[in-house]
């Protein structure tokens, strides 16, 4: 997976994303996570692959102390314009101290991680998450595959790793305790959405 190609693709798409509206199901599930954070008095949140910061802004507007990161300079620029604390950073190597955050939010970004690297990335997430911290992991999947998506409308075309429900739950369970899983059907010809809320149990 070529990270620079990924950066180019998302730099180009930043303006469109900054002016898009999230799907209704994404808004609903985001609130499910916020409600759980409030119930457990979680106060700090790191968003990985934050894009233009729409979700980070939602969490910040609802009282959380939010930091967001993305590989794309353009995405981070939009985040800063929204008044967010944002940094260009690779989530393979998170530049934060151990146990820095009560919560981590990763929506449709970990699906760009090759399967031979995913344990490293999940290990970094676990490292910077506080004990009993909550991790929202959302991605498109349904069957086990990986590679460049030839039908991708983006240029350069992006790399995707996909997991069956059983595979992603097993993988996540090797690092975290699962406390919520939901399979959200989408277009019949598209992958479905897999949502996991996980707890960092030491």
Spatial contact of 168 and 174, defined as CB atoms under 8 Å apart? no
Domain count, the chain: 1
Position 19 scores a pLDDT of 85
Per-residue pLDDT of the chain (202 residues; tens, 9 = 90+): 689 988 898 888 888 888 888 899 999 999 999 999 999 999 999 999 999 999 999 999 999 999 999 999 999 999 999 999 999 999 999 999 999 999 999 999 999 999 999 999 999 999 999 999 999 999 999 999 999 988 888 889 999 999 999 999 999 999 999 999 999 999 887 889 999 999 999 7
Position 1 scores a pLDDT of 66
pTM for the complete prediction?
A: 0.95
Position 15 scores a pLDDT of 86
Report the C-alpha gap between 33 and 107 in whole angstroms.
12
Here the contacts of 63-71 (C-beta below 8 Å, separation 24 or greater) are 64/34, 64/37, 64/103, 67/101, 69/94, 70/10, 71/3, 71/6, 71/7, 71/10
Report the C-alpha gap between 19 and 17 in whole angstroms.
5
CATH of the domain at 36: 3.40.50.150
Write out the residue range of the structural domain in which residue 154 sits. Answer: 3-199
Position 162 scores a pLDDT of 96
């Amino acid at each position: 997976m070529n990270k620079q190609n990924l950066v180019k693709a998302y730099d180009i798409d930043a303006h469109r994303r900054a002016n898009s509206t999230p799907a209704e199901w994404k808004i609903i599930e985001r609130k499910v996570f916020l409600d759980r954070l409030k119930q457990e008095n979680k106060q700090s949140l790191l968003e990985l692959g934050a894009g233009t910061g729409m979700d980070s802004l939602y969490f910040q507007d609802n009282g959380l102390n939010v930091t967001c990161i993305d590989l794309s300079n353009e995405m981070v620029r939009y985040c800063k314009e929204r008044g967010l604390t944002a940094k260009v950073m690779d989530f393979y190597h998170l530049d934060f101290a151990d146990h820095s955050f009560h919560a981590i939010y990763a929506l449709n970004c970990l699906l760009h991680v090759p399967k031979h690297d995913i344990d490293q990335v999940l290990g970094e997430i676990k490292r910077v998450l506080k004990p009993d911290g909550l991790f929202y992991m959302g991605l498109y999947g349904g069957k086990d595959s990986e590679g460049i998506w030839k039908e991708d409308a983006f240029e350069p075309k992006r790399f995707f790793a996909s997991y069956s429900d059983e595979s992603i739950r097993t993988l996540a369970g090797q690092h975290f305790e699962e406390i919520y899983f939901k399979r959200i059907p989408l277009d019949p010809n598209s992958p479905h959405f897999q949502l996991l809320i996980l707890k960092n149990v030491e």
